[in-house]
Amino acid sequence: MSYRNLEEYNIEVTNEVKERYSKIIDEIGEDTSREGLVKTPERAAKAMQFLTQGYDQDPVEILKGAMFAESYDDMVIIKDIELYSLCEHHMLPFFGKAHVAYIPNGHIVGLSKIPRVVDVFARRLQVQERLTHDILECLNDTLKPKGVAVVIEASHMCMMMRGVQKQNSVTTTSGFRGQFEKIETRNEFLKLVSSNLS
Ligand SMILES: Nc1nc2c(ncn2[C@@H]2O[C@H](COP(=O)(O)OP(=O)(O)OP(=O)(O)O)[C@@H](O)[C@H]2O)c(=O)[nH]1
Ligand SMILES: [Zn+2]
């Protein structure tokens, strides 16, 4: 599934959301008619559609479109996949990295499809825990691998710009299925993720 470009935004949604952003800008005491802000409601409406485009995308279709029979049955790790999501409590960004691994079971998947699946689930209103499990369960159910592991490290703007205002805290979430539930396999994955050699 390709990323949306401006021509693909739904005009009705854009107009509805635009009206609401205009009201918000007005309510915070700004002048919606000043030059810099005239197009802002429309831009913000499009940005919000971009950041939530994951609702319109099917991760199973993405994976199934690039599964290849292959007998490789060792660990495949894609690490440092950058992600940007929106926390569902404040609708502020949280961002960081996902590390994903799976052990094939007769099929491998096109490598780029893993970051695409991360994006599909990240581009929704999320909590980091559910995002982690959404990716994990989708890969587990679709690839039916011998094992799958997902680790996400992220910083939450709602904890940085406002609220508790902690600039350096990082939240780590993880999920393991199949062979990654065994401590040796999990440790091998975590070692490779933290190494610069993998
Ligand atoms: N578990 C979890 N919590 C999150 C995530 N993103 C934001 N939160 C938290 O959601 C909570 C919402 O708590 P509330 O007390 O309802 O909201 P609040 O008054 O704005 O809380 P503060 O952020 O502490 O000011 C906060 O503790 C946020 O840190 C996430 O991905 N996972
Ligand atoms: Zn938040």
User: Is 87 one of the annotated binding-site residues?
Assistant: yes
CATH (one of 3.20.20.70, 1.10.286.10, 3.40.50.620, 3.40.50.720) for 6-51? 1.10.286.10
User: Is 133 one of the annotated binding-site residues?
Assistant: no
Q: Which residues line ligand 1 (CB under 6 A)?
A: 87, 89, 127-129, 156, 158-159, 163-164
Q: List, for residues 163-197, the tens digit of each pLDDT value.
A: 999 999 999 999 999 999 999 999 999 999 998 76
Residue 164 CA: which ligand is closest? 1
Q: Whose CA is nearest to atom 4 of ligand 1?
A: 127
Q: Which atom of ligand 1 is nearest to the CA of 156?
A: 6
pLDDT of residue 5: 56
CATH (one of 2.60.40.420, 1.20.1440.230, 1.10.3720.10, 3.30.1130.10) for 59-194? 3.30.1130.10
Q: Which atom of ligand 1 is nearest to the CA of 131?
A: 31
At 82, the pLDDT band (50, 70, 90 cuts) reads very high
Within 10 angstroms of residue 123's Cβ, the number of other Cβ atoms is: 23
**Annotated active-site positions, please?**
87-90, 128, 156, 158
User: Is 158 one of the annotated binding-site residues?
Assistant: yes
